[in-house]
Amino acid sequence: MISKEAENLLFEIIEHESDGNHWAERFEAADHREDIILRGCFKELKDNNLVHTTWADNIPVIIQVLKDGYLYQRHKEEREKAERELTMGAFERELTDLLERAQNISPPTQVSYDGESIAEHNMPANVWMDDVRIFRAKYLSEHPLYSPMESLLFHRRFSRLVASLTSISKDRDFIDKMNGVEKVEVPKYQAKTLPEYDVFISHANQDKEELIEELYQSLQKLGISIFYDKESLEWGDNWKERILNGTKKAEFAIIVISENFFDREWTERELSEFLNRQNRNGQKLILPIVHNITMQQLQEKYPNVADIQAIDSSKYNCDQIALLFAKQLIKRLKAN
């Protein structure tokens, strides 16, 4: 892995491959601090076999992007696309697919007969526009562009349809609605009673590097509000008080139970707090994950937790676990 700064530099190099003056101007305009950062990032890219740079007069004059550099960019784009798709519902996936297909289609030529303009035969464009008609009928009856698009479809206005779909893709409120996420206005007098966090991650510190950090990132990508000690505790906080407060203000608790979790003062304390809350409220709260232990070990150590359906970290990756949690959260929000 390379630093974010080096990654940004790599993408800037690829973007300006044909601009011979870019780097001379870039270094000339850089102050002392930026100059040091740029040179450090060039060295980092060289050390990772992503670029080869020839320097003259202390400025890069020839920058050759190596195979791994291009592959790094491609894999980065593929990861970002996969992450976006992970959070998309069917509506957003189909809309994205239509827009991506449109980029590779030549617009049909408009020819006029008796004063009416119609699209000349163009099979890919016509199939695409028929798919737009299906998409419109399936999803857009409540969107302001629903009626205007009927005329565009009738007259086969390819470019205008692309523009309409692009506008819809930026309509976040409508997309959230189609994905089943609705904004709820909460009276101020009720706001203090709502959970501050969607989920509290209870875990042993020894499991952070192997599992918890990645799980936190996967949950965060979905826009989930998380109490995670590493991110939620700030300098000067009374950490015991903040953690106990977090256990009271979370809608759910993902509890990662491993051998490292056993017999630790604060993991046991958190578990006890959540068990008491769940028993008191009679509502699902605890979502256990067993990590590198068997269900029998869980039964022997925490029989009260063993009665709660758990998942095994070896059978799901962190993105899958995050999606499973998101489904639980959506069910709870709809029920409320």
| 273 is a catalytic site residue | no
Q: What value, to the nearest 5°, has the Cα angle with vertex 278 and ends 275 and 284?
A: 125
For 151, other C-beta atoms within 10 Å of its C-beta total 10
Q: Which residue has the tokens 């798919």?
A: 131
Of the candidates 44, 270, 273, 300, the residue annotated as catalytic is: 270
What is the rounded distance in angstroms from the CA atom of residue 217 to the CA atom of residue 137?
37
Q: Hey, which residues does 117 pair with through a beta bridge?
A: 112
Q: What are the strands, taking DSSP E only, across 35-160?
A: 51-56, 59-65, 110-113, 116-119
Q: Are strands 59-65 and 110-113 parallel, antiparallel or unpaired?
A: unpaired
What is the rounded distance in angstroms from the CA atom of residue 114 to the CA atom of residue 72?
55
- DSSP letter string over 162-227? HHHHHHHHT-HHHHHHHTT-------HHHHTTS-SEEEEEE--GGGIIIIIHHHHHHHHHTT--EE
What is the rounded distance in angstroms from the CA atom of residue 59 to the CA atom of residue 123?
52
Q: Are strands 59-65 and 51-56 parallel, antiparallel or unpaired?
A: antiparallel
The sign of the dihedral angle between the CA atoms of 24, 26, 31, 33 is negative
Quote the tokens at residue 170.
């930026």
Contacts of 265 (CB under 8 A, 6+ apart): none
Catalytic residues: 270
